């Protein structure tokens, strides 16, 4: 696996450094209230890696499922039990080119001057994680553009 891509990232001040190896499990945008408040921006863009693909140094503070540097306040990767959520903007190289979101969450909160990303799944709220057979299918993009 010598060609496995390894990406590095950090907070704004550099006190927290991390890396992720290999391809992410999924990539998304979220327009929910928590993402807006936590980032101060109108949405967050993030990618999820398996826990074992992640390494980090430095001290982080956490609030709920968010992690940030206690010195500069920069958002950094949040480490869960099985997965790690990395805000794409915390990665060192920009643009990231091949990290393209596959879905958008909480589109009812999307700013009206933003548009649905082409070829992405659109969800009114959170991404369904269990029993997907019983959940409504994501709305086709054409409905999203025409509605609301
Ligand atoms: Zn920092
Ligand atoms: Zn969110």
- Tens of pLDDT, residue by residue over 14-28, are 999 999 999 999 999
Residue 116 lies in a domain: yes
Q: Note residues around ion ligand 2 (Cβ under 5 angstroms).
A: 30, 32, 35
Whole-number pLDDT of residue 147: 43
Nearest bound ligand to the CA of residue 28: 2
- Could you tell me the distance, in angstroms and rounded to a whole number, from the CA of residue 52 to the centre of ligand 1? 23
- Could you tell me the distance, in angstroms and rounded to a whole number, from the CA of residue 105 to the centre of ligand 2? 7
* Count of alpha carbons within 13 angstroms of residue 128, beta-carbon side: 14
Which CATH number characterizes residue 108's domain?
A: 3.90.1590.10
For residue 99 the two structure tokens come to 């990290």
∠ at Cα 25 (50, 101), nearest 5°? 135
Residue 98 lies in a domain: yes
Residue numbers of the domain that contains 91: 6-146
Read off the pTM: 0.81
| Residue 14 parent element (H or E) | none
Whole-number pLDDT of residue 148: 47
Residues of the chain with pLDDT under 70: 1-2, 130-148
Closest C-alpha among 18, 14, 71 to residue 47:
18
Whole-number pLDDT of residue 63: 93
Are the C-beta atoms of residues 138 and 120 closer than 8 Å to each other?
no
**28-40 per-position pLDDT tens digit:** 999 999 999 999 9
Integer Cα distance of 78 and 31 in angstroms: 18
SS3 120: coil
Residue 1 lies in a domain: no
Residue 26 lies in a domain: yes
Specify the pairing of strand 26-30 against strand 17-21: unpaired
Which residue in this structure is represented by tokens 């950094």? Answer: 76
Overall domain count for the chain? 1
Residue 45 lies in a domain: yes
- Could you tell me the distance, in angstroms and rounded to a whole number, from the CA of residue 85 to the centre of ligand 2? 12
């Amino acid at each position: 696996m010598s060609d496995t891509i390894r990406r590095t990232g950090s907070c704004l001040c550099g006190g927290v450094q991390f890396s992720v190896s290999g391809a992410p499990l999924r990539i998304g945008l979220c327009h929910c209230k928590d993402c807006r408040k936590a980032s101060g921006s109108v949405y967050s863009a993030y990618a999820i890696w398996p826990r074992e693909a992640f390494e980090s140094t430095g001290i982080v503070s956490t609030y709920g499922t968010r992690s940030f540097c206690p010195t500069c306040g920069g958002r950094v990767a949040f480490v869960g039990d099985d997965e790690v959520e990395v805000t794409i903007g915390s990665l060192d190289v920009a643009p990231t080119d091949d990290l393209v979101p596959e879905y958008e969450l909480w589109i009812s909160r999307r700013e009206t001057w933003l548009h649905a990303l082409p070829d992405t799944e659109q969800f009114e709220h959170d991404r369904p994680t269990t029993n997907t057979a019983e959940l409504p299918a994501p709305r086709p993009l054409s409905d999203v553009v025409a509605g609301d």
